[in-house]
């Protein structure tokens, strides 16, 4: 009987959460104040959160808690 190769393992579903600018979809790396507003004047303004998996699943929202909950549910598949 052949032994299983490491490539035979199913891939885990992962969905890291990123903060993205709503205007152009670029990743926002600027510091954010505790109130949720941009911490510097360099930030172009509004941003939202998105999570995407290698399988094609994705979600986005203006609230991080909603994206975290959806991503947690996806990772349990």
Which residue, among 37, 32, 64, has the nearest Cα to 48 in the 3D structure?
Answer: 64
Whole-prediction pTM value?
Answer: 0.70
Query: Can you give the residue ranges of every domain in the chain?
Result: 13-24+46-77
List b or e across 20-44, with b for residues whose CB sees 16 or more CB atoms inside 10 angstroms. ebeeeeeebeeeeeeeeebeeeebe
The predicted-structure confidence for 12-44, as pLDDT tens digits, reads as follows 888 888 988 877 888 888 887 777 677 777 777
Q: Would the pLDDT of 67 be above 90?
A: yes
């Amino acid at each position: 009987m052949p032994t299983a190769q490491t490539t035979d393992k199913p891939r885990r579903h992962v969905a890291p959460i990123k903060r993205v600018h709503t205007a152009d979809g670029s990743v926002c790396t600027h510091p954010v104040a505790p109130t949720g507003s941009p911490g510097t004047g360099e930030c172009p303004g509004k941003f939202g959160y998105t999570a995407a998996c290698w399988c094609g699943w994705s979600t986005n929202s203006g609230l991080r808690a909603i994206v975290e909950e959806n991503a947690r549910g996806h990772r349990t598949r």
